[in-house]
Amino acid sequence: MNFRDKAFALLKENRRDTGTGHTYTVPSPEVYPYQWLWDSCFHAIILAKVDAEAAISELRALLSRQLDDGMVPNIIFWDTKLTRPYNWGWGKSGVTSITQPPMLAYAAEAIYRHTRETAFLEELFPKMLAFYRYLIERRDPRDHQLISLINPDESGEDNSPRFDKPMHVASDISFFGHMYERHKLVRANRVCNFDEEECMRKNFWVKDVPFNTIMVKNLEILAKLAVLVKDPEAEAYAKLHAGLIRQAMRDVLFSDGVFWSAEGEKKELLKVATWAHFVPLFAELYTKEEAHALIETHFHNHDSFRSSYGIRTVSQQEPAYRAAGFWRGPIWMAPHWFIYQGLRAYGFESEAVWLRSVSERLIEHNGFREYFNPETGKAYGAHNFTWGTLVLDMLDS
């Protein structure tokens, strides 16, 4: 089977029926047998290429469990027979109380590019808008124009060392030690009743670079979708906030030629070098000159980010770097995909071709595994993990 057939076969194999009129795709049948927010957006981007209906169902299922305030939970536990490892919140109604990077508008546009039909957009647009509105209104209570996370898991990079300082953990913390601290944080946020402002003030308040970059890009796309569904007010709103976040990222998070996440009311920079330096390319937040400097200084730097197998998620020079440490160094396919899109946006063609080919090779050699050791290429974690299908989008573009 060629790569394309293998990718679609995996998505088909991981597809589930809720029995209540919805279908969705699990990221991995053994390790992640539920529906995840940003994973479903990735699935929709790939499914759109062959089966637009399946892609639409993926987003429809996700949005069907949106909370009243507009938040879309990071996990929906559709199959109630399965034991839940942890519910990341109240867990009462089969969903978590935290969210994940807002890739919904991007995924919806990917579907539209293939179908050119607006019926599904008209159906889903108000829900998507409510989600972005929630993030702008509830996750930025002090009008810093930067969206805040109340738990590291909302970044999708659960134990990334970007969060070590706000989590009050040492750089050599173990995977399970970190998990324990994140569970403690959820308990503290339950005490705050998941009231965003109070939870931020008391427990954890991070303005994260990837999340805000994804927000800018998605708001820009939301503005285009607003034109398609003839909602000029939403178009103006999305454009306005994309611009405000873009500007605040530059004013607050940009230092030494790269973007850094920041913490708290004072917006103190969290100076841990991770792939968050590269992700702003995705929303074209760097000027051309800055992007060139970034590629020379960091992308091509074998001592920090570049390895023979791809781009490390954490710089090798960081004390927290672990080649096999989940989000503390290994190569993951979603970061590769975001960086790839960014490289293409700026016209870094040879870098993009290299990233695409190392990504394809990792999957061809190891199968659809979860993450990879940058020093040896060894694969770890979940099997039949769907993120590898994103490589197809690199091969297509």
30/349 with CB nearer ligand GLC: 30
Least distance to ligand GLC from the beta carbon of 362, Å? 17
From 36-44, 168-176, 223-231, 289-297, span contacting ligand GLC (CB under 6 A)? 36-44
Min CB(157)–ligand GLC separation in Å: 6
First to last CA, the chain: 21
303/332 Cα distance (integer angstroms): 19
- Closest distance between ligand GLC and the C-beta of residue 20, in Å? 22
- Residues in the chain, total: 397
Q: Is the CB of 145 or the CB of 313 nearer to ligand GLC? A: 313
CA distance 314 to 318: 7
Closest approach of Cβ 337 to ligand GLC, in Å? Answer: 13
Residue 58 binds to ligand GLC (criterion: CB under 6 A): no
* Residue 32 binding ligand GLC, by CB under 6 A: yes
With CB under 6 A as the contact rule, which of the stretches 33-41, 209-217, 227-235, 243-251 interacts with ligand GLC?
33-41
Q: Which of 22, 24, 25, 36 binds ligand GLC (CB under 6 A)?
A: 36
The piece of 35-43, 204-212, 282-290, 358-366 that touches ligand GLC (CB under 6 A) is: 35-43
| Minimum separation from the CB atom of position 393 to ligand GLC (A) | 17
Backbone angles phi, psi at 103, to 5 degrees: -90, 10
Alpha helices in 85-208 (DSSP H): 104-115, 119-138, 164-167, 175-191, 196-202
Residue with tokens 């700026």: 346
Rounded Cα–Cα distance for residues 303 and 305 (Å): 7
The CA distance from 146 to 212, in Å, is 7
For residue 39, state whether it binds ligand GLC (rule: CB under 6 A). yes
Q: Minimum Å distance from CB 342 to ligand GLC?
A: 19
Instruction: Decide the pairing of beta strands 23-25 and 35-36.
Output: unpaired
CA distance readout (Å), 259 to 4, 161, 163, 297, 326? 35, 15, 15, 14, 22
Q: How far apart are CA 356 and CA 338, in angstroms?
A: 11
> Is residue 275 close enough to count as binding ligand GLC by CB under 6 A?
no
**If you write DSSP's letter for every residue of 341-371 in order, what string do you get?**
HHHHHHT-HHHHHHHHHHHHHHHHHH-S-SE
Count of residues in contact with ligand GLC, rule CB under 6 A: 7
Burial class (CB in 10 A: 0-12, 13-18, 19+), 267: middle
C-alpha 267/C-alpha 145 separation (Å) is 12
Q: At its nearest, how many Å lie between ligand GLC and the CB of residue 152?
A: 10
User: Contact between 42 and ligand GLC (CB under 6 A)?
Assistant: no
Residues whose CB is less than 8 angstroms from the CB of residue 70 and which lie 6 or more positions away in sequence, other chains included: 130, 131, 133, 134, 138
The verdict on 372 binding ligand GLC (CB under 6 A) reads no
Considering only 7, 22, 27, 258, the residue that binds ligand GLC (CB under 6 A) is: 27
Tell me which stretch binds ligand GLC (CB under 6 A): 32-40, 125-133, 185-193, 230-238: 32-40
Q: Which two tokens stand for residue 169?
A: 């953990």
Using the minimum distance from each CB to ligand GLC, give the nearer residue, 180 or 317: 180
Q: Which two tokens stand for residue 133?
A: 């509105």
Binding of ligand GLC at residue 388 (CB under 6 A)? no
| Residues 149-178 within binding reach of ligand GLC (CB under 6 A) | 156, 158
The least distance separating ligand GLC from the CB of residue 256, rounded to whole angstroms, comes to 27
206-207, strands of its sheet edge to edge: 206-207, 262-263, 268-269
Q: Can residue 211 be called a binding residue for ligand GLC (CB under 6 A)?
A: no
Candidates 17-25, 31-39, 179-187, 338-346; binding stretch for ligand GLC (CB under 6 A): 31-39
Question: Minimum CB separation from ligand GLC for residue 232, in Å?
Answer: 34
Instruction: Identify which of residues 39 and 58 has a Cβ nearer to ligand GLC in the complex.
Output: 39
CA torsion 283-105-38-78 (nearest 10°) is 170
- In the window 65-124, what residues touch ligand GLC (CB under 6 A)? none
What residues make contact with ligand GLC under the rule CB under 6 A?
27, 32, 36, 38-39, 156, 158
